[in-house]
Amino acid sequence: MNILAIDVGGTNLKILATGQEQRRKVPSGPNMTAKRMVSEVRRLAKDWKYDVVFLGYPGPVHAGRPIAEPHNLAKGWVDFDFERAFGCPVRVINDAAMQALGSYKKGKMLFLGLGTGLGSCAVVNGKVGPLELAHLPYIKGTYEDYVGRRRLEQRGSKKWRKDVTEVVAHLTKALRPDDVVLGGGNAKKLKELPKGCRLGSNANAFLGGFRMWEDSEGNQIRKPKRSPMRGPSR
């Protein structure tokens, strides 16, 4: 079974498929609708074969569907029929959870994604538990206000790194994880990692996407059946 993994970020849309070594990407941003995302993915992956799709979505997801519009993209994602658009089975998960699963090793892990905003997720004994920490109140704003890209641009790298260290310490103390992974595009801007943290990689998002189609022993799950109304698979 060939899997197409899609990582929808606030800045870039990235894809990678089974058997491919190089990911492909295009800019996303505030004009990126779900319909446009599908069009861009089809164009980028026109010479790739895939049977199923895994989608990392930058917002809350419940029962495999987005339940709120993304903060850094255009609207129109919540009620979008991804399976009909792609013509194959689609699994949707929060983008931070996608990268967290790819970064997981053991125990209780807290993942914090430092990108356009703040992604957050917990993985406990291999099971993903999405968190929504970004917009919780913190000092004079939210956690995202203090560690997101806008804060980095406004305050500069040195002050932003201090903010990140303080936020990580606060969340670590509250959640008490065994392992803390800092991922997202801006994590590499940290000269020194906060105590008890390790650096993730955006590439782990694709690994997480592939893992979601595997069982606990690392074997690929059989391709699920689709409704005949969904149209032919690729």
> Above 70 in pLDDT, residue 221?
no
CA–CA distance, 214 with 201 (Å, rounded to integer) = 21
Topology of domain 3-97+207-230, CATH: Nucleotidyltransferase; domain 5 (3.30.420)
- Note the pTM of the prediction, 2 decimals: 0.74
> Above 80 in pLDDT, residue 56?
yes
> Above 80 in pLDDT, residue 225?
no
> Above 80 in pLDDT, residue 232?
no
- Tell me if domain 3-97+207-230 and domain 106-200 are identical in fold: yes
> Above 70 in pLDDT, residue 75?
yes
The pairs formed by 226-233 with CB atoms below 8 angstroms and a separation of 24 or more are: 226/83, 226/88, 226/89, 229/84, 230/83, 230/84, 230/87, 230/88, 231/84, 231/87, 232/87, 233/51, 233/87, 233/88
First to last CA, the chain: 11
| pLDDT, tens digit, 9 for 90 and up, residues 137-147 | 999 999 999 99
| pLDDT, tens digit, 9 for 90 and up, residues 7-37 | 998 889 999 999 999 999 999 999 999 999 9
Give me the mean pLDDT over the 100-106 stretch: 92
| pLDDT, tens digit, 9 for 90 and up, residues 124-141 | 998 888 788 999 999 999
Give the start-to-end residue ranges of the domains of the chain: 3-97+207-230, 106-200
Q: Which residue has the tokens 């890209």?
A: 149
CA–CA distance, 94 with 130 (Å, rounded to integer) = 7
Which CATH homologous superfamily contains domain 106-200? ATPase, nucleotide binding domain (3.30.420.40)
> Above 50 in pLDDT, residue 224?
no
